[in-house]
C-alpha cells in the first residue's frame, strides 16, 4: 500500500507507540495521585508539557492537553465566547476553516452573535484586506488557521497578529495549527491560542492540546476534578501525552530532514504528472509557498472521487478533501469554492498528502497509476 492521506491521519511512529505502551503497562499511575509511583507519571507529563511549550514558544503552564484538535478548537471558540456571554460581540473567522472551527462559528451565528466569515485569496490564504475592515472595537475573537488542510496554503500569523493589534488590540487571536505543527519548522507562534493534534504527526489518535497564553480569559471546557488549570478537567491521557511527546522530540531532531524529503516527493510527483498529462491544475499556492506535505490537483474531465477509487485498486490511498466532509457525501467543496475555483475544477480535485514514511521512489508508481487512470477515465467520460 502507498498511503498518501497523511492530512487525514498518520501511521504512529515506533518510538511514540513504545512510549504509549510503556505508559499503559508500567508507568500507568494517575498523575494526580500523590504517592511516588504517581509522582513519576506526573513528572513525565510535565517534561512532555515543557517540550511542547518549547516547540510553540510558550510557557509550560500555557499548555492544556485535550483529546483532539476538534476539542481544542471548540474550547478556544466557545471558551472565549463564554467570557462574553449575554453581550453581542464580533467573532471573525474564514470561509476555509476546518469544520471544527467553521461549525463553532456557525453555532455562534445561530446564537445571535455578530459573526464574520472572511474570504480566501485564490491560493487559499486569508483575505487580510477583509480582516482589516472587519475588525472593530467590539471584536473579541479572530480564528484563522495556520496551514489549510485541503490545499496547504500557509497564512502569515505574524502579519495577521499585527493587523489585529492595530485595529482590535483586545481581540483574542486563535489559530488552528493542526496542519502546520511539525510540518513547518518549530517557531514561536505569535497568537493567543493555538490548537494541535497528535495523530496528524505520527502520534496516536485521542490526544491534542490547546496553547492558552496566560493573559487570555477563557471559560472552562470540561468541569470536574480541575486538572489542566481547571480549564479541562479529566484524568490525563498519559499514554497519549507521552506518545505525542516522543513524536515531538523526534521532529525536533529530524524535522528538517523529513521536510526536505516531503518536498522532494511533492516536487517529483508534480513534475511527473505535469509532464505527462494536460489539463492538470495545482489548487493552492505554488510549491515554494505551500506546506511541504499537501498537494491538491485537479485533473479536468475526471471526477476526483472516481479517480480516488480507481487508485484504491492499485493500493494507493488519497482523498478528495477533508475526511470529515467526504463521509457526508458532499459533492461541493466549501474550501475550493471559497478560493474561487469553478465547480468543474472543484469536482475533479484530489488531495495527496505526504508523511514521513513516504519515499521518493513511490512517487513514480503513484504518477504512473494516476496517468494511466486519468487517461482511461477521460476516454470514457468520467
Return the axis-axis angle of helices 36-56 and 238-276, rounded to nearest 10°. 30
Q: Contacting ligand PLP (CB under 6 A), which of 5, 123, 176, 192?
A: 176
Residue 263's closest CA among 296, 239, 287, 235? 287
For ligand PLP, the closer of residues 319 and 373 by Cβ is 319
| Rounded-to-integer distance, Cα 253 and Cα 41, Å | 24
The 3-42 site mask, x for binding ligand PLP (CB under 6 A), equals ----x-----------------------------------
For ligand PLP, the closer of residues 145 and 354 by Cβ is 145
At its nearest, how many Å lie between ligand PLP and the CB of residue 152?
Answer: 11
Residue 208 binds ligand PLP, judged by CB under 6 A? yes
Stretch in the footprint of ligand PLP (CB under 6 A) among 17-25, 173-181, 339-347, 374-382: 173-181
| Rounded-to-integer distance, Cα 40 and Cα 330, Å | 48
| Rounded-to-integer distance, Cα 141 and Cα 158, Å | 16
Residue with cell 499514554: 239
Q: Contacting ligand PLP (CB under 6 A), which of 151, 178, 302, 338?
A: 178
By rule CB under 6 A, what count of residues binds ligand PLP? 15
Residue 333 binds ligand PLP, judged by CB under 6 A? no
For ligand PLP, the closer of residues 227 and 322 by Cβ is 322
Stretch in the footprint of ligand PLP (CB under 6 A) among 10-18, 66-74, 268-276, 350-358: 66-74
Cβ partners under 8 Å of residue 138, min gap 6? 88, 89, 90, 114
Stretch in the footprint of ligand PLP (CB under 6 A) among 52-60, 67-75, 110-118, 286-294: 67-75
For ligand PLP, the closer of residues 89 and 259 by Cβ is 259
SS3 content of the chain, % helix, strand, coil (to 5): 45, 15, 40
At its nearest, how many Å lie between ligand PLP and the CB of residue 344?
Answer: 25
Residue 322 binds ligand PLP, judged by CB under 6 A? yes
Contact 236, 45 (CB under 8 A): yes
At its nearest, how many Å lie between ligand PLP and the CB of residue 34?
Answer: 32
* Active site (annotated) includes residue 324: yes
Length of the chain: 382
Residue with cell 484524568: 235
At its nearest, how many Å lie between ligand PLP and the CB of residue 58?
Answer: 19
Residue 94 binds ligand PLP, judged by CB under 6 A? no
Residue 145 binds ligand PLP, judged by CB under 6 A? yes
For ligand PLP, the closer of residues 7 and 27 by Cβ is 7
**φ, ψ at 195 (rounded to 5°):** -105, 140
Strand partners, 82: none
The DSSP 8-state label assigned to residue 11 in this structure reads: P
Stretch in the footprint of ligand PLP (CB under 6 A) among 26-34, 176-184, 263-271, 297-305: 176-184
Written as nine digits, the cell of 2 is: 502507498
Residues from 249 through 288 that contact ligand PLP (CB under 6 A): none
Contacts 24+ apart (CB under 8 A), 307-316: 307/348, 307/350, 307/370, 307/373, 307/374, 307/377, 308/350, 310/373, 310/376, 310/377, 311/366, 311/369, 311/370, 311/373, 314/365, 314/369, 315/1, 315/2, 316/1, 316/2, 316/4, 316/365, 316/366, 316/369
Residue 174 binds ligand PLP, judged by CB under 6 A? no
Residue 144 binds ligand PLP, judged by CB under 6 A? no
Residues from 338 through 367 that contact ligand PLP (CB under 6 A): none
H/E segment holding residue 312: helix 304-312
Q: Which residues are catalytic?
A: 324
| Residues in contact with ligand PLP by the rule CB under 6 A | 7, 68-70, 98, 100, 145, 149, 176, 178-179, 197, 208, 322-323
Amino acid at each position: 500500500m502507498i498511503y498518501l492521506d497523511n492530512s487525514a491521519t498518520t501511521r504512529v511512529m515506533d518510538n511514540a507507540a513504545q512510549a504509549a505502551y510503556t505508559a499503559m503497562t508500567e508507568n500507568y499511575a494517575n498523575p494526580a495521585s500523590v504517592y511516588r509511583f504517581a509522582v513519576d507519571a506526573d513528572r513525565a507529563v510535565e517534561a512532555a508539557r515543557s517540550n511542547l511549550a518549547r516547540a510553540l514558544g510558550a510557557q509550560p503552564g500555557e499548555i492544556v492537553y485535550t483529546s483532539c484538535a476538534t476539542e481544542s478548537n471548540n474550547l478556544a471558540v466557545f471558551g472565549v465566547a463564554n467570557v462574553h456571554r449575554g453581550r453581542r460581540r464580533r467573532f471573525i473567522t474564514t470561509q476555509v476553516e476546518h469544520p471544527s472551527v467553521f461549525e463553532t462559528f456557525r453555532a455562534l451565528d445561530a446564537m445571535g452573535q455578530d459573526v464574520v466569515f472572511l474570504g480566501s485569496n485564490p491560493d487559499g490564504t486569508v483575505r487580510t484586506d477583509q480582516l482589516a475592515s472587519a475588525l472593530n472595537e467590539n471584536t473579541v475573537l479572530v480564528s484563522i488557521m495556520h496551514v489549510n488542510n485541503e490545499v496547504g496554503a500557509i497564512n502569515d500569523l505574524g502579519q495577521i497578529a499585527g493587523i489585529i493589534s492595530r485595529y482590535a488590540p483586545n481581540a483574542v487571536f486563535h489559530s488552528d495549527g493542526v496542519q502546520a505543527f511539525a510540518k513547518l519548522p518549530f517557531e514561536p507562534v505569535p497568537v493567543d491560542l493555538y490548537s494541535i493534534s497528535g495523530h496528524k504527526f505520527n502520534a496516536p489518535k485521542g490526544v491534542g492540546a490547546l496553547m492558552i497564553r496566560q493573559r487570555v480569559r477563557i471559560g472552562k471546557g470540561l468541569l470536574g476534578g480541575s486538572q489542566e488549570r481547571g480549564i479541562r478537567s479529566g484524568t490525563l491521557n498519559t499514554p497519549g501525552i507521552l506518545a505525542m511527546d516522543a513524536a515531538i522530540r523526534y521532529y525536533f531532531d529530524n524535522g528538517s530532514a523529513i521536510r526536505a524529503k516531503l518536498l522532494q516527493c511533492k516536487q517529483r510527483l508534480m513534475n511527473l504528472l505535469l509532464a505527462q498529462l494536460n489539463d492538470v491544475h495545482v489548487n493552492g499556492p505554488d510549491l515554494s509557498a505551500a506546506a511541504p506535505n499537501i498537494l491538491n490537483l485537479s485533473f479536468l474531465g475526471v471526477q476526483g472521487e472516481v479517480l480516488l477509487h480507481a487508485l484504491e485498486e492499485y493500493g494507493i490511498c488519497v482523498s478528495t478533501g477533508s475526511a470529515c466532509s467526504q463521509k457526508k457525501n458532499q459533492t461541493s467543496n466549501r474550501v475550493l469554492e471559497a478560493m474561487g475555483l469553478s465547480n468543474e475544477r472543484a469536482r475533479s480535485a484530489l488531495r495527496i498528502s505526504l508523511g514521513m514514511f513516504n519515499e521518493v521512489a513511490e512517487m513514480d508508481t503513484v504518477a504512473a497509476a494516476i496517468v494511466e487512470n486519468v487517461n482511461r477515465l477521460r476516454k470514457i467520460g468520467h
